[in-house]
Amino acid sequence: MDFETRPLPSGPDTTFTASEIRSAVQDLLGLDGLPPIVQVGHPVLRQRAAPYDGQLGDTELAQLIERMRDVMHAAPGVGLAAPQLGIPLQLAVLEDHFDVDPVASELRQRTPLGFFAILNPSYEPEGTSTASFYEGCLSMRGFQAVVTRHRDVRLHYQRPDGSAASAGFSGWQARIVQHETDHLHGGLYLDRAELRSLANDAEYSAHWAYPGIEEASRGLGFLKP
């Protein structure tokens, strides 16, 4: 099923200075264990994060990326944005190596995604195809909802070394790219979700854990052509 994607409301611009961002990063890196993931309701998730323009030294940036990767793995998740750790900076990490049912993988076009970090990302659709599936968020634990997203996107971003990059992504990889980039602009998946599809994890597992969303669409009454 193909439907229009919902626009993302723009979050307010962050007012954090470079010194404040660096101090927050140093505090995070100084923790003995992994930092907690910020949950929905915290203002940092609704701010447009500051573009990265050298607020951190190369070593600090590398350490922050590694810490974010550790948190993502421990969660576990397939992406994590710096605001989810309370850092209002346009930085995210992505990686997907989860074992998924082959039928679901084929329907969702879910293929492994190697680890990489993105700075100052933006994306644009390639073509008009969309895909609608359940997704969740580490900053809204315990719930999932159906989100219609572009099936194919082109991502523009900076690598940690400062070089510019552009790459195309399809299927589930494109969904991850869109989800994490939205975080950096003050967006959550709920902004684009079909709210009638919202389910806590237990009810999702009991009723709607299919490769596609047809059963949920009929049972909960959303995305009717």
Render pLDDT for 137-182 as a digit per residue (tens, 0 to 9): 999 999 999 999 999 999 999 999 999 999 999 999 999 999 999 9
Q: Which two tokens stand for residue 3?
A: 């439907």
* Element at 15 (helix H, strand E): none
Of residues 9, 188, 14, the one with CA closest to residue 87: 14
180 catalytic? Reply is yes
d(CA 210, CA 193): 18
d(CA 136, CA 142): 8
| Burial zone of 191 (CB within 10 Å; 0-12 exposed, 13-18 middle, 19+ buried) | middle
| CB atoms closer than 10 angstroms to residue 123 | 20
| CB atoms closer than 10 angstroms to residue 59 | 8
d(CA 185, CA 192): 13
d(CA 145, CA 200): 9
Render pLDDT for 168-218 as a digit per residue (tens, 0 to 9): 999 999 999 999 999 999 999 999 999 999 999 999 999 999 999 999 999
d(CA 104, CA 119): 30
Render pLDDT for 29-84 as a digit per residue (tens, 0 to 9): 999 999 999 999 999 999 999 999 999 999 999 999 999 999 999 999 999 999 99
Judge contact between 197 and 134, C-beta under 8 A: yes
Q: Which two tokens stand for residue 71?
A: 């948190």
DSSP state of 127: S
Burial of 173-183, coded b for 16+ CB within 10 Å and e otherwise, reads bbbbbbbbbbb
- Whether residue 3 has pLDDT greater than 60: no
Q: Which of 180, 194, 214, 215 is catalytic?
A: 180
Q: Using alpha carbons only, give the angle 141, 175, 114 rounded to the nearest 5 degrees.
A: 95
